[in-house]
A and B are shown apart, each in its own frame.
Chain A
Amino acid sequence: MVLELQKPRPIWQIMFSTHHTDVGLLYLITSLSFLFMGGALALAIRAELFFPGSQIIADSMTFNRIFTVHGTTLIFLFIIPFASAVGNYFVPIMVRYKDMAYPKLNAIAFWMIPPSGALIWLGFADFTWYATPPYSIISAPGPAADMWIFGLKILGVSSVLGAINFVVTILKCKHPDMSIGQVPLLAWSFLTSSLIIIVAIPTFAAALLMLLTDRLGVSGFFNPAMGGDPIAYAHLFWFTFHPEVYVLVIPAIGMMYEIIPRFSRKPIFSHSSGIFAFVLLSVVSFSSWAHHMYATGMSFTEKTVFMIGTLAAVPASAMHVFNFIATMWNGRIKFSTPMMWAVGGIALFFSAGAGGVVNAAMPLDFQTHDSYWVVGHFHLFVMGTIAFGSIGYLYYMFPYVTGRMYNENMGKVHFVMSFIGTVLVFFTQHVLGLYGMPRRVFDYPPIPEWITMNQIASVGAMIIGTSMVIFLINMIHSSAKGKLADTDDPFNLGGKYYYPFESKNPHHH
């Protein structure tokens, strides 16, 4: 049993601990703090865009800094650390080992996150989450830009260290009685996403260093005034970050693989096809990066190659959706809060993927590229799929972490409001993109369709914001005062259903 908060301990005991559940708890608290900080910035953006003209944000520089830090925070300081939290708690338990393979390295990887978060927030850079040169070299004001670069550099190292730890824990430390094929799908999701990290991240790490020396004026890799090429950066960046989007989504799918069968009270439809789809995704994720660059002047042949590489990833994603639906089919489904989030997340995953296919089809991308469509597209993944899977999982692990139950009604209200809000914001943004509104704009001309859709999106954002307040109250109140959980069967599923926590793990009490 995990029960971290059951026995009160001084905070420093958790902070200096290297035990996987303590590090997991640190990851959890950190990532949730950044969720709320980044979310507050999103509300500022949506409030500003409610009407044309300046509303609550004084100038475009501030606005540009806000959306840059918003994106950077939620991707790197919420989604990734949240996955690490879940992985830290559950991967060792699932492979029946006493801890992560390298506990000290694990704690070090975590402790790199707060300083990078501080660099990103104290700097407040303005060059968007991809820091494209030559803007990032010749135009973006320091020291914010340099602080962002250092922050990301540290986060990259932290990711790679964490990934090595997961790979070794799963492959080398799993219980000898357990074959690799029997490892639960959640642990498989960490194995495959970690392998992607190890292959993908070094490229961006190199690009960041080159960006920094370019900014210092001692090199000109990406600076055309010094004979460099900005497009080279775009290739290096997307070579890392297209695979990285799968790093973000794969653990969320893994979390759904825990929730869906349990609350359907049925075994997963096909364990082996889940593994197969994870492995396939991690390989094909490397074949599509330049679909972000159709409009940079690539040749017809280049575009065709990357379109094919992109479409090749769709069957693997679709297999996960099939597996979930086939598992739920004829199941005795119990729609507790975690299940609602997981099922809602799958529906949004499907819609997001359909939009992705439109982006991938080259002539259509010239409609959608760098418009609000793209903002809608990837938010259906990062919010609709990944945050939904993660939040569902948070409700699911809540009784094991705190020993108490969250308030079920508040959890359901949180889900319903967030689902409605997500549909309102991000489906509308797709349409707004088709009407031609560019992304990353502080202000826009009073085109009637643009105004209406921005307002719908802003209302949706306020609904999500409100639901997150309910969520926060529920978490804080329930972890102190919630009713005690029956940790053998907290969701009242009937007791036959295996929970990873009470595993017959000799190392866990």
Chain B
Amino acid sequence: MGHHSNWPEWVYVGVVIALMCWVGAEAWNAERLVEHVPADAEVIKVTGQQWFWTFEHEDGTKEIGELHVKVGKAYKFEIMSKDVNHSFNIHDYVVLMDAVPGRVNTVWFAPMEAGEHDIQCREYCGLIHYNMRGKLIIEDDSS
């Protein structure tokens, strides 16, 4: 065991602890804001099953594999699964939430501009997991 003084190590540990506190505080704050669902968000029911996605809008219309939404509105996804675990993912909008049978998980987003984005499954679900993909189509309200 050393006979030298060990203060540099304690200073260093202090710096690491301070950094971790900062990361934790920032993350806590950001997550708190991100999880605050706007009151007027429209509900879309999302169902995952081997190996495709089904969407049901508030007015009862259903879509398979494709999801149409409008710019400037907020949407709340209620995510379910009919068989095994999946994970509903729109990577461009950092929408990611597992679809777990027996549970309803929620996540929300608000599309900013018109365009098309990939929907994919991010949780291993078997044979065609690699191709459990869909399209998000964001339309201008005017059209």
Contact = CB atoms under 8 A, between A and B. Distances in A.
Interface stretch (A27-35, A170-178, A294-302, A385-393): A294-302
Nearest to A181: B1
Contacts of A441: 129-130
B96 A366 contact: yes
B103 A361 contact: no
A439 B125 CA distance: 11
Interface string A340-383: 00000000000000000100111110110111000000000000
Interface string B70-103: 0000000000000111010101101011101111
Interface string B47-60: 00010000000000
B107 to A, nearest CB: 9
B131 interface: yes
Contacts of A296: 98, 100, 105
A230 interface: yes
A231 interface: yes
Contacts, number: 154
Given A134-B83, A436-B91, A438-B121, A229 B102 contact: yes
Contacts of B17: 315
Contact of B27 (A134, A297, A307): A307
A319 B30 contact: no
B142 interface: no
Nearest to A319: B13
Contact of B133 (A367, A440, A445): A445
A370 B32 contact: no
Interface string A427-450: 000000001101111111100000
Given A60-B128, A311-B24, A438 B100 contact: no
Interface in B5-42: 6, 8-9, 12-13, 16-17, 20-21, 23-24, 26-28, 30-32, 34-35
A138 B120 contact: no
Contacts of B101: 134, 224-225, 230
Given A271-B2, A441-B130, A319 B9 contact: yes
Contacts of B126: 64, 126, 135, 139-140
Contacts of B121: 438
B interface, over-half SS: mixed
Q: Which of B34, B84, B126 counts the most A-chain CB atoms under 10 A from its CB?
A: B84
Contacts of B128: 60
B2 A315 contact: no
A84 to B, nearest CB: 28
A443 B9 contact: no
A241 to B, nearest CB: 16
Contacts of A308: 24
B66 interface: no
A440 B124 contact: yes
Given A224-B102, A297-B105, A138 B24 contact: no
A269 interface: yes
Contacts of A367: 94, 96
A304 interface: yes
B1 A271 contact: yes
A363 B30 contact: yes
A230 B100 contact: yes
Given A300-B35, A445-B118, 14 more contacts: A132-B124, A140-B126, A225-B101, A230-B101, A273-B9, A315-B20, A357-B23, A360-B27, A370-B96, A438-B120, A438-B122, A439-B124, A440-B130, A441-B129
Interface of A: 60-61, 64, 126-128, 132, 134-135, 138-140, 181, 224-225, 229-231, 267-273, 295-297, 300, 303-304, 307-308, 311-312, 314-315, 318-319, 322-323, 326, 357, 360-364, 366-367, 369-371, 435-436, 438-445
- Across chains A and B, which 7 residue pairs bring their CB atoms closest together, nearest first? A436-B91, A224-B102, A297-B105, A441-B130, A361-B27, A135-B84, A370-B122
